[in-house]
Amino acid sequence: MKNMCLPHSVSPRDYFFNEDGKPVPKSVVDQVCARFSKLTDKAFDDELDGKYRKLTLGAYLDDAFGGTELSKTEDARQVYEWCKRVECTDEACSSLYEISASQLSNYTELEGGFFNTLGPGGYQAILDVLLRDVPSEAVRCNAPVKTIRWDLVKEGQSEEEDHPVQVVCENGQTFEADHVIVTVSLGVLKEHAKTMFDPTLPEKKLSAINDLGFGIVNKIFLFFEKSFWPDDCAGVQLVWKEGPEDKDVYEDLSEGEDWKQTWFKKITGFDTVARHPTALCGWITGREALYMESLQDREIQEVCVRLLRSSTGWPVPEVSKTLISRWGSDPQVRGSYTFVPDGVDGVEAHKALASPLPPKHRSRGRKNLQVLFAGEATHVNFYTTTHGAYLSGQREAERLISYYSD
């Protein structure tokens, strides 16, 4: 899910370098990033001009930024392309030309600044609290679900014995239930939805699963024996003359597999890491992130060190340890978080994904709410986020409480 410490705004302590190893003037960075922020805010705040409402986010930004005096300098254009790569990381897409500009207004940004209070325990600390009152025998680990059979009718059983849902695990274990809440990622549903449920899911839900996008955002952690960057440096940001987000590059169908040779151009930069004073974290998204997952850690590490050396000119030492995420190839996730592609009604898709089974008109005396769905992709306003996933779980729990309270 979306990490809310993504670089929505530029830190005044960020160092920007172009591919020639020259620093980008801070004044240019500040002006471009401020302009870019205002343009994206218009999309999120539903303040787009009519002519932009049917455009992709990339097309809208290109037109709006291209009409400014600022866009006429090479440095500014290159920083603008960097901003688009950062936005790709925020949206979990390969390109801003594949997502809708007007649909962004459905997403709700919480007020206030970001403060990482998870501590060294990370998200596991939250799970520990949630599981504190759950009996250990009620939790099954290392038991992937193969099939969810629902709307079962068993002759000769009383209503108390008649459980309409059966969960079958890959290890052969089966569990019977009145209700099952499915919280797998949209990426897993995209891969298994047609075979995971018996009977198959309604067409409207399958369409929502197919229509919504589920992108990949990966992190590259580089650990060094000691820091080599200035004390006032919050991150090294990489600016290219021609990057993967440039419209002409993205829409060049003749490129074939050539983009794989420059996959590293999708890395936005390397940020310092809280509580780890000798570590840097690189961000990469989209098809380049998925391709990176096929490479060995050593190869990725060497590319990153070469980038840091060639761009900054600093004496970058060898890396002592790497930690690299591979969310796209992880069979339990198959990606990072949801985005709304161009041409898709995000509100309706999120609602369809969240709708429980069976539909009331099909129940005919059978138990309702047999299969419920939660997860960030089912939340209309907080999709992509951890709090969206958490709130969707509460929503389904409250749905069941209300069902038995009526």
- Across 370-389, average pLDDT: 97
How many CB atoms are located within 10 Å of the residue 389 CB?
21
Q: What is the pLDDT of residue 276?
A: 93
Segment 380-394 shows an average pLDDT of 96
Q: Which fold has domain 133-406?
A: FAD/NAD(P)-binding domain (3.50.50)
At 7, is the pLDDT very low, low, confident or very high (cuts 50, 70, 90)?
very low
Assess whether pLDDT exceeds 80 at residue 53.
yes
Cα 267 from Cα 141, distance rounded (Å):
35
* pLDDT given for residue 119 in this prediction: 76
Rounded Cα–Cα distance for residues 354 and 316 (Å): 49
Distance (Å, rounded) from C-alpha 192 to C-alpha 330? 14
CB 341 within 8 A of CB 102: no
Helix (H, G, I), strand (E, B) or coil at 350: helix
Mean pLDDT of 255-263: 84
Least confident of 115-119, 256-260, 381-385: 115-119
pLDDT at residue 4, as a whole number = 42
pLDDT level of residue 249 (50, 70, 90 thresholds) = low
Write a three-state SS string for 251-266: CCHHHCCHHHHHHHHH
Q: Where are the beta strands (DSSP E) in 135-253?
A: 145-149, 165-169, 174-177, 180-182, 197-198, 213-215, 217-223, 235-239
Which strand (E) or helix (H) includes residue 371? strand 371-373
CA 31 to CA 33: how far, in whole Å?
6
Q: Which residues pair with 177 in a beta bridge?
A: 165
pLDDT band, residue 5 (cuts 50/70/90): very low
Residue 258's pLDDT is what?
83
Tokens linked to 285: 């998204």
Rounded distance, CA 202 to CA 17, Å?
A: 51
Contact 272, 93 (CB under 8 A): no
Give residue 6's pLDDT: 45
> Domain map of the chain by residue range?
133-406
Average pLDDT score over residue span 324-330: 98
Residue 386 has pLDDT above 70, yes or no: yes
Predicted confidence band of residue 230 (pLDDT cuts 50, 70, 90): very high
Is the pLDDT score of 248 beyond 70? no
Count Cβ atoms within 10 A of the Cβ of residue 359 and give its class: 0-12 exposed, 13-18 middle, 19 or more buried. Answer: exposed
Torsion of CA 58, 59, 64, 69, to 10 degrees: 80
Tokens standing for residue 359? 């539909």
Q: Is the pLDDT of residue 244 over 70?
A: no
Q: Looking at the predicted structure, is the pLDDT value of residue 116 above 90?
A: no
pLDDT digits over 192-205, tens only?
999 999 999 999 99
Q: Please, are residues 214 and 364 in contact by the beta-carbon 8 Å criterion?
A: no
**pLDDT recorded at residue 149:** 97
**Measured distance CA(137)–CA(127) in Å, rounded:** 16
DSSP E strands in 90-234: the ranges are 145-149, 165-169, 174-177, 180-182, 197-198, 213-215, 217-223
DSSP 268-335: -EEEEETTEEEEEEEEEEHHHHHHHTTS-HHHHHHHHHHHHHHHH-S-----SEEEE--TTT-TTTSS
% of residues, the chain, pLDDT over 70: 90
Which of helix, strand or coil describes residue 1? Answer: coil
Is the per-residue pLDDT at 231 higher than 80?
yes
- Per-residue pLDDT at 366: 65
Q: Are 96 and 245 in contact (CB under 8 A)?
A: yes
pLDDT at 319 over 70: yes
d(CA 120, CA 263): 31
